[in-house]
C-alpha cells in the first residue's frame, strides 16, 4: 500500500473540546414540555462530570420520547469521548432510525467508518450527508477520498488475484472497482486485458470500447496476451489512481509539463500528502485563486504556509515554479510533516551564498535527496521545474515520510 494511503489509514477520529460540539437540538425538534430538562442535560454533557448518570437519564428520556433523536446523539457523543466507537455507532444509528435526516448522526457515522477503514460505507454515508447538507465542501472532498480508497482496496485485491492466476476473483474485483469509478478508462482497459486471458473476447472488446470512449487519445491494447511485466506496472498505476482517481488526466498534464505551474505544484503536494487538508490552516485572502481548478489545494498549501501569496493578495496559479520556489516549498513541507533536519546530511549548493534565505532550504532538500544539483553542479535557483522533476521530488519525499518514525 502506498505511503499516501497508509497515512490516511493511520488517522483516527479527532474530537474537538466538548464546548465545540454541535447541540443536537440544532437538527432535532425539542418538545416544549421537555425543553428545560433537555437544556439541563446538554449543560451536563458540556461539563462532562458524570457521564454514566447522564446516560441513564438520557435512556429514560428516550423511553418517554421515542422519536426524540437528540438524546441518542448526546449518548453517541459521550461514547466518542470515552473511545467506545462501537457503542457510539449504535447510538448514532439509533438516532438515524428516528430521524433519517439527522445530519449530525450521519456525519459521525461516516467519520467512524472512515477511521475504521470501512471506506465504501464511509463514501455512501458522506454522499447521504451531502444530499441533506451541501453547504460543506470538505464533505465532498472526503467522499471522493473514501471512494478512491475503497476502489484502491478492491483493485489491489484484484491485482493479487491476477498475479496468483485466480482470474475469476480478479474479474470480480475489477468489476466491483468499476461500480465505484465507472468513468475511469484505465479500469476498463485493465478488465479488458483480463478478459482476454479468460478467453472472453466479446466482453473484452466491450471494455476496450468503453476505455476508448472515455479516453479516445490513449492507445488501446489489442494484444491477445498479457506481457510479462503487466503485474509490475499494475502497482504504479494503482498508486496514481489512488491519488488522482477521475482526475488522473490532471496528473498526466503535470507529469508531462515542461514547466510546472503554481496551481499544479499545489495539487501535486496535496495529492501525495492528503493529510495536509486535515491540518489546521490560517485563511489567506487571494483575489485570483477562485478561477483555478485547484482551489482547495491552493487554499491548503497557502493556509499551511507551504506556498506564499503575493503581496498584492494574488496567487498567480498559472505562473511557473522555479527551483528556488520548489526548494522552499518542499523544505517547509518537510517541517510540517515533522521530518527532522538533524537526520539529514547537508549538501551544499555551490551557487548559493550562505547568507541567502534559500541556502538552508536548498541544503535540506539536497541533503535528503528530495532534489538534486543540476548536471552543471549548480542549484540554479531561477531555473524552471519540469513536471517529471516535481513528481520525482514528491515521490522521494513520500518515501522518506513513510520510512520515518512516527
- What CA–CA distances, in Å, run from 237 to 51, 240, 385? 49, 5, 24
Give the H or E element holding residue 207: helix 201-214
**Closest C-alpha to 146, from 124, 164, 161, 130:** 124
Q: How far apart, in Å, do the first and last CA atoms of the chain sit?
A: 17
Q: Which CATH class is domain 3-135?
A: mainly alpha
The C-alpha cell that represents 140 in the structure block? 465532498
- pLDDT tens digits, residue range 120-141? 899 899 999 999 988 887 888 8
- pLDDT tens digits, residue range 227-277? 333 333 333 345 676 677 767 788 989 999 999 999 999 999 999 998 898
**pLDDT given at position 179:** 86
Dist. CA 309–CA 326, nearest whole Å: 15
**pLDDT given at position 183:** 81
Instruction: Walk along the chain (406 residues) and give the pLDDT tens digit of each residue.
Output: 333 333 333 345 678 899 999 999 999 999 999 999 999 999 999 999 899 999 999 999 999 899 999 999 999 999 999 999 999 999 999 999 999 999 999 999 999 998 888 888 998 999 999 999 888 878 888 888 788 788 878 888 888 888 888 999 999 998 988 888 888 787 888 898 889 999 999 999 999 898 888 765 444 343 333 333 333 333 334 567 667 776 778 898 999 999 999 999 999 999 999 889 888 888 888 888 888 999 999 999 999 999 999 888 899 999 999 999 999 999 999 999 988 665 566 677 888 888 998 998 998 999 888 999 988 889 999 999 999 999 999 999 988 888 777 6
* Structural contact between residues 70 and 25, judged by C-beta atoms closer than 8 angstroms: yes
**pLDDT given at position 217:** 47
Phi, psi of 100 (to 5 degrees): -60, -10
* Structural contact between residues 85 and 115, judged by C-beta atoms closer than 8 angstroms: yes
Dist. CA 276–CA 299, nearest whole Å: 11
Dist. CA 22–CA 102, nearest whole Å: 12
The residues near 13 (Cβ < 8 Å, ≥ 6 apart) are 80, 85, 111, 112, 115
Angle (CA) 303 6 361, round 5°: 45
The residues near 405 (Cβ < 8 Å, ≥ 6 apart) are none
* Structural contact between residues 123 and 142, judged by C-beta atoms closer than 8 angstroms: no
Instruction: Work out the widest C-alpha separation in the chain, in whole angstroms.
Output: 81
Give DSSP secondary structure letters for 280-319. Answer: -------SSGGGSTTHHHHHHHHHTTSS---TTS---TTS
* Structural contact between residues 196 and 226, judged by C-beta atoms closer than 8 angstroms: yes
Equal CATH topology for 3-135 and 146-250: yes
pTM listed for this prediction: 0.54
- pLDDT tens digits, residue range 253-262? 999 999 999 9
Dist. CA 405–CA 147, nearest whole Å: 28
**pLDDT given at position 340:** 67
**pLDDT given at position 311:** 86
Average pLDDT value over all residues in the chain:
85
**pLDDT given at position 228:** 34
**pLDDT given at position 214:** 79
The residues near 60 (Cβ < 8 Å, ≥ 6 apart) are none
Dist. CA 365–CA 370, nearest whole Å: 5
Domain limits of the chain?
3-135, 146-250, 260-403
Q: What is the CATH number of domain 146-250?
A: 1.25.40.10
Dist. CA 42–CA 25, nearest whole Å: 9
The residues near 346 (Cβ < 8 Å, ≥ 6 apart) are 363, 364, 366, 367
> Distance between alpha carbon 156 and the CA centroid of its chain, in Å?
18
Other beta carbons within 10 angstroms of residue 311's beta carbon come to: 6
Amino acid at each position: 500500500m502506498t505511503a499516501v494511503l497508509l497515512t490516511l489509514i493511520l488517522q483516527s477520529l479527532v474530537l474537538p473540546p466538548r464546548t465545540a460540539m454541535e447541540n443536537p437540538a440544532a437538527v432535532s425538534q425539542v418538545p416544549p414540555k421537555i425543553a428545560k430538562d433537555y437544556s439541563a442535560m446538554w449543560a451536563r454533557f458540556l461539563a462532562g462530570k458524570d457521564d454514566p448518570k447522564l446516560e441513564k437519564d438520557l435512556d429514560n428520556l428516550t423511553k418517554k420520547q421515542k422519536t426524540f433523536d437528540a438524546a441518542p446523539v448526546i449518548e453517541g457523543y459521550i461514547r466518542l469521548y470515552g473511545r467506545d466507537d462501537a457503542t457510539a455507532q449504535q447510538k448514532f444509528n439509533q438516532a438515524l432510525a428516528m430521524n433519517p435526516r439527522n445530519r449530525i448522526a450521519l456525519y459521525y457515522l461516516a467519520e467512524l467508518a472512515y477511521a475504521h477503514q470501512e471506506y465504501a460505507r464511509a463514501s455512501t454515508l458522506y454522499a447521504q450527508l451531502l444530499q441533506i447538507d451541501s453547504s460543506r465542501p470538505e464533505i465532498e472532498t472526503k467522499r471522493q477520498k473514501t471512494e478512491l480508497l475503497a476502489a484502491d482496496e478492491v483493485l489491489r485485491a484484484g491485482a493479487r488475484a491476477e498475479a496468483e492466476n485466480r482470474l475469476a476473483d480478479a474479474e470480480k474485483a475489477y468489476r466491483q472497482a468499476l461500480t465505484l469509478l465507472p468513468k475511469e478508462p484505465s479500469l476498463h482497459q485493465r478488465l479488458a486485458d483480463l478478459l482476454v486471458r479468460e478467453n472472453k473476447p466479446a466482453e473484452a472488446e466491450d471494455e476496450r470500447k468503453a476505455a476508448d470512449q472515455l479516453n479516445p487519445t490513449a492507445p488501446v491494447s489489442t494484444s491477445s496476451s498479457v506481457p510479462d511485466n503487466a503485474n509490475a506496472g499494475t502497482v504504479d498505476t494503482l498508486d496514481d489512481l489512488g491519488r488522482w482517481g477521475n482526475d488522473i488526466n490532471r496528473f498526466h498534464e503535470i507529469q508531462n509539463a515542461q514547466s510546472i505551474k503554481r496551481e499544479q505544484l499545489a495539487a501535486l503536494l496535496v495529492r501525495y500528502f492528503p493529510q495536509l487538508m486535515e491540518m489546521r490552516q490560517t485563511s489567506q485572502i487571494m483575489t485570483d485563486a477562485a478561477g483555478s481548478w485547484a482551489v482547495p489545494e491552493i487554499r491548503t498549501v497557502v493556509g499551511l504556509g507551504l506556498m506564499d501569496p503575493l503581496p498584492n493578495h494574488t496567487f498567480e496559479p498559472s505562473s511557473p515554479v522555479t527551483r528556488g520556489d520548489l526548494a522552499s516549498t518542499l523544505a517547509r513541507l518537510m517541517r510540517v510533516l515533522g521530518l527532522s533536519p538533524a537526520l539529514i546530511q547537508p549538501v551544499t549548493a555551490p551557487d548559493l551564498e550562505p547568507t541567502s534565505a534559500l541556502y538552508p532550504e536548498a541544503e535540506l532538500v539536497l541533503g535528503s535527496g528530495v532534489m538534486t544539483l543540476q548536471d552543471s553542479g549548480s542549484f540554479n535557483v531561477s531555473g524552471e521545474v519540469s513536471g517529471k522533476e516535481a513528481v520525482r521530488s514528491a515521490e522521494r519525499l513520500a518515501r522518506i515520510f513513510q520510512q520515518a518514525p512516527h
